[in-house]
A and B are shown apart, each in its own frame.
Chain A
Amino acid sequence: MKVLIVDDESGILKMYSEYLSTQGFEVLTASNGEEGIKTAKEKKPDVILLDIIMPKLNGLDVLKNLKQDPDLKNIPVYLLTNLPEECSGDKAKELGANGYLVKAESEPKVIADVIKDLNKN
């Protein structure tokens, strides 16, 4: 199962990708919004974890782009951010995100469980 993580913090990318790899996931990373869309188009991941505050294209705009693309719109997208849900949660939902996770409360293990649950359903 391919997981794409889009985040401009290299430490965050390293942390989640390291853990998810040990859990048997194939992890792809992108360090900004534009790169995220490009990687999604090329590699067609099974799930995308998307930060919000990023250079070039923010996460909500990336989400909008993904949902407008017929090839990518069915890929489940989770916002994985440190912005409180009340700031961007409604917007994310409106744009078609599958969930809103706050990084400080979502350790790599929690993310792995979310993806596994998604796989089960």
Chain B
Amino acid sequence: MPQDPLNNSQTYILIGAIASFVLLYYLVIYKYFSKSKRIYLKEIADIVLIGVLIHLLKDYGQYFFALYFLPIAAAALSFEFISALLIATIAVLFVVFEIFLSSYDLIPRQQDIYGGIWQIGLILLITIFCRFLAIQLKEEKSLKEEAIARQKALEEETKREKEFMSLTSHQLYTPLSMIRGFSGMLNDGSMGKLSTKQKEAASQIYENSKRMVSLISELLSISRIETGKIKLNYRSFDPKSLLDDIVFNFNETKENKKVKVIFKIPKEIIRIEADADKIRQVIYNLIDNALKYTPEGEILVSLTQDQKNTVFSIKDSGIGIRPEDYDKIFEPFYRGKNILELDNKGTGLGLYIARLIIEKHGGKIWFASKENRGTNFSFNVPNKNNGYIDIQ
């Protein structure tokens, strides 16, 4: 039968003193300490209280020792390394203190030294286990948080980029649309008859405003592709109808009637999956270039396919590319010297944009050329569905 510790009047005094001290302690820390400091001081008080409680209950069994685990686990799991360390140290000190007191018979219960070591071992084990668990949880939590933060940052950036793009194009285009519109109206006579000189001036303003619009539009395209902000709008389409359409439009509208655009494609064409508008833009740029640099002859647009790739080619019989320009023609703003002699109005961005678009599709663009004999530009678009395609 365990001895009732409360029979001892000294114990009453001891408990009263500890309780008053702890109360005072709580009062002081709540009144004079900031929240961040208070947390550690409060933990000290918690563990002191638990230590006293364990001591008092010891006669009812050693199992009450497990009460230490509560604040230890709570502190270790609260992701606070310092709290966990603090609490574990105090709990260990308590046990050591108890062994010390009992070995000098200063407290009634004898604390076995081996039992004490066993208890310290348990405290340390619980602390390490809970810290380990907390670190795991923290890592999982921070990974999740990181992913969410990354996603949020990306969305923010896309939004900002979009706003910037909208604002840029809006601010630059608005005055330009008026310059272009009004000068066009002056130029075509819809605002009254002009003298030859006035007409010439209006025509210069008009032509250059158009040049400016296409430059801005190309720069905006590049910025969108380079920053990865452009998303390819993949859909399945028939490349034959796309070519049909482009070639028909060129033959209808081109100014140079000495050059004919023809196309040659195999009978059986498989549909491809790509961003049709962007592919159209690439083919359009290549044919437009070919027309500019081919004084007479023909431009052959062709297409070949296998299960993995669709290859488009645009072959002209024009001035060709000089060997010294070979490695630069896909760079932004680069224009070959023989090209500058023929046309000084281009921006030098068309082939660069074409390269960006094709690379974004996972394909490549290349050329073969002979000066004054012509150039053949080709690019491939990988079939996204690896050959499982419905045949038209």
Stretch in A29-37, A39-47, A99-107 with 4+ CB within 8 Å of B: A99-107
Closest Cβ of chain B to A49, distance in Å, is 13
Q: Is the CB of B205 closer than 8 A to any CB of chain A?
A: no
Residues from chain A with Cβ under 8 Å of B185 in the complex:
15, 18-19, 108
Contact, CB under 8 Å: A15 / B178: yes
- Residues of chain A from 58 to 103 with CB closer than 8 A to chain B in the complex: 81-84, 86-87, 102-103
Contact, CB under 8 Å: A107 / B178: no
Are A84 and B166 also in contact (CB < 8 A) when A22-B190, A102-B173 are? Answer: yes
Q: Is the CB of B220 closer than 8 A to any CB of chain A?
A: yes
Contact, CB under 8 Å: A16 / B181: yes
- Residues of chain B from 174 to 230 with CB closer than 8 A to chain A in the complex: 174, 176-178, 180-182, 184-185, 188, 190-191, 213, 216-217, 220, 224, 230
Interface residue range, chain B: 20 to 34
A12 touches which of B177, B220, B224 (Cβ 8 Å): B177
B182 touches which of A9, A15, A104, A106 (Cβ 8 Å): A15
Are A109 and B213 also in contact (CB < 8 A) when A87-B166, A103-B174 are? Answer: no
Are A12 and B184 also in contact (CB < 8 A) when A83-B166, A84-B165, A105-B213 are? Answer: no
Contact, CB under 8 Å: B166 / A107: no
Closest Cβ of chain A to B278, distance in Å, is 12
CA A91 to CA B188, docked complex, whole Å: 35
B188 touches which of A12, A15, A109 (Cβ 8 Å): A109
Are A109 and B173 also in contact (CB < 8 A) when A12-B178, A18-B191, A84-B165 are? Answer: no
Nearest A residue (CB) for B233:
A86
CA A11 to CA B190, docked complex, whole Å: 16
Contact, CB under 8 Å: A104 / B188: no
Residues from chain B with Cβ under 8 Å of A53 in the complex:
170
Q: Is the CB of B162 closer than 8 A to any CB of chain A?
A: yes
Residues from chain B with Cβ under 8 Å of A109 in the complex:
184, 188
Residues from chain A with Cβ under 8 Å of B191 in the complex:
18
Q: Is the CB of B169 closer than 8 A to any CB of chain A?
A: yes
Nearest A residue (CB) for B185:
A19
CA A82 to CA B170, docked complex, whole Å: 5
- Residues of chain B from 22 to 64 with CB closer than 8 A to chain A in the complex: none
Residues from chain B with Cβ under 8 Å of A86 in the complex:
224, 230
Closest Cβ of chain A to B63, distance in Å, is 68
CA A87 to CA B166, docked complex, whole Å: 7
Are A15 and B181 also in contact (CB < 8 A) when A102-B173, A103-B174, A105-B213 are? Answer: yes
Contact, CB under 8 Å: B170 / A12: no
Are A11 and B165 also in contact (CB < 8 A) when A82-B170, A82-B173, A105-B213 are? Answer: no
CA A16 to CA B184, docked complex, whole Å: 12
Closest Cβ of chain A to B154, distance in Å, is 17
CA A17 to CA B262, docked complex, whole Å: 41
Contact, CB under 8 Å: A87 / B213: no
Contact, CB under 8 Å: B169 / A108: no
CA A106 to CA B213, docked complex, whole Å: 11
CA A84 to CA B177, docked complex, whole Å: 14
Residues from chain B with Cβ under 8 Å of A107 in the complex:
180-181, 184
CA A68 to CA B361, docked complex, whole Å: 40
CA A81 to CA B173, docked complex, whole Å: 9
Closest Cβ of chain A to B170, distance in Å, is 5
Contact, CB under 8 Å: A82 / B177: yes
Q: Which 7 A-B pairs have the closest CB atoms?
A: A82-B173, A104-B173, A103-B177, A104-B177, A15-B181, A11-B178, A82-B170
Q: A15-B182, A103-B174, A109-B184 are in contact. List 6 more A-B contacts (CB 8 A).
A: A82-B174, A83-B170, A103-B181, A104-B217, A105-B213, A108-B184
- Cβ contacts A to B, 17 pairs, < 8 Å: A9-B174, A12-B178, A15-B178, A18-B190, A22-B190, A53-B170, A82-B170, A82-B177, A84-B169, A84-B220, A87-B165, A104-B176, A104-B213, A104-B216, A106-B177, A108-B185, A109-B188
